[in-house]
Amino acid sequence: MASSWARTLAFLLAGSVPSASLARGYETTEAKILTLLQREEDASVDLESAVVALGPEATKTLFEALGGRLTIADGRTLRPREREQLTACLRAWPEGEVATALLGAARAPSTPSRQLLALRLFGDFAGSDSLEDFLALLQEIPRTQLRHASVREGVRKSLARILRRDRGGYAVCGRWLANLDRVELEILMEACKENGHGESLPILEALLKGDTPLVTQALDALGHHAPWDPSFGEGRAAQALSFFLGSADAAVRRQAAVSLGRLREAEYLPELVQLLSDPEPRVRSGALWSLREVTGFPWEEDPERWQNWLRQEEVWLEDEAPDLLSNLARSDRARSIEALRILSAHRGMQRYLSEDLCRLLEHDDPLIVARTSDTLSRLDDRCAVPTWIGLLEDPREQVRDAALRSLRAVTRETFGDRPEDWRNWLQRL
């Protein structure tokens, strides 16, 4: 039997058409596709094969046909595979025409499902040069329709894909902030949260001046930034979050505390410990969750215990850590390994240890490099991620194995030992 997509094409192309000229295009395209179907022994063909055989002009006509009814005839929307094939069809178009056609399809009177597909496909092709048109389109969509869950989700995904592909789009969005209403701002923050790019920090910082719901959502998005992103900015997101730990609003205090935990930011441990005595239970629970995330300790909500631990760590950091770190610079392998063992037990202090430990990843001794990787991994130090990716190309197997082990432990990703896979992942963030 023919594939579901091929049957759908035949059904769509056989339907009513808006004009005689387009009807001729339908007939031509339908005949060629049916010919392709008949050539296949199993009577099946996908759209990608059809694109190659038909060429750009015919596939352009084909999409114009589909563009009139972007919802499958029986009411269901395109499945992921079918959407991929339609995307392949669009790639055959002359460059620069796709975004215009999709914006036109999204603007035309239509059902939410048709509009959703056009907006999602727009996200596959548009860059920052078309982003202003996209934002203007959002303002044309009736608010009731934009609040429709599927349309809103489609807009968010498209916007996130555009910003991932072209980070110059964040500057465009920043210029549009004053023109966006509540729903549009929420969608923008959701896209920023999904990507976690440092370029979105100015947008989120600007929105921290809004009302409580907007501030809470912006704080949540700040907590999803990836510190290994080179555009992240040293401690910038954490600094913005820390300001709201003293907010008069309990929901804001809680979200600021939770977002600091997501960043695993150790600099503000004293403030988080202090929040364990907050009068609001939800604020205390948020602070406790973050303390556990940063330190790895499973302790209960016991302010005195956490305060005692923090005081001991501060004393250790001042009195003992400097000697241990100085041992790392020596050529004595045994002393270095012993120092690494002791340092690895002080998770929560990684901010103060990271710089010295990362320098050790350049050591000539493969055992030292491997043990250092393991130590950084136990400290949950995510700032070493780019260095570990580079070490996957090290000629020493022991170093490569330790780097891969650490990458998987810290990022929670499961890629193999191919550096390009990790670099592609890092670039997509």
Residue with tokens 């009577």: 43
pLDDT band with cut points at 50, 70 and 90 for residue 236:
confident
Residue 48 pLDDT > 50: no
Please tell me the predicted confidence (pLDDT) of residue 252: 97
Residue 209 · residue 244 · CB < 8 Å: no
CATH code for the part of the protein at 320-428: 1.25.10.10
> What residue type is assigned to position 79 of the chain?
R
The mean of the pLDDT values for the chain is: 78
Tokens of 305: 């215990």
Whether the pLDDT of residue 108 is over 70: the answer is: no
Query: Does pLDDT of 147 surpass 80?
Result: yes
Q: Among the listed ranges 19-23, 148-152, 415-419, which one has the minimum average pLDDT value?
A: 19-23
Q: What is the pTM of this model?
A: 0.74
Q: Give pLDDT tens digits for 199-229.
A: 899 999 999 998 999 999 999 999 988 665 5
The least confident of 63-77, 263-277, 313-327, 400-414 is: 63-77
pLDDT at 105: 66
CA distance 346 to 349: 6
Cβ atoms < 10 Å from Cβ of 88: 17
Going from N- to C-terminal start, the domains of the chain cover 1-94, 320-428
The residues near 172 (Cβ < 8 Å, ≥ 6 apart) are 128, 131, 132, 135
Q: Give the pLDDT confidence score for residue 88 in this predicted structure.
A: 65
Interval 365-385 mean pLDDT: 91
The candidate with the shortest Cα–Cα distance to 250, out of 212, 299, 295, is: 212
pLDDT, mean of residues 334-360: 88
pLDDT score, position 1: 36
Identify the pLDDT of residue 63.
Answer: 52
Is the Cβ–Cβ distance between 117 and 69 less than 8 Å? no
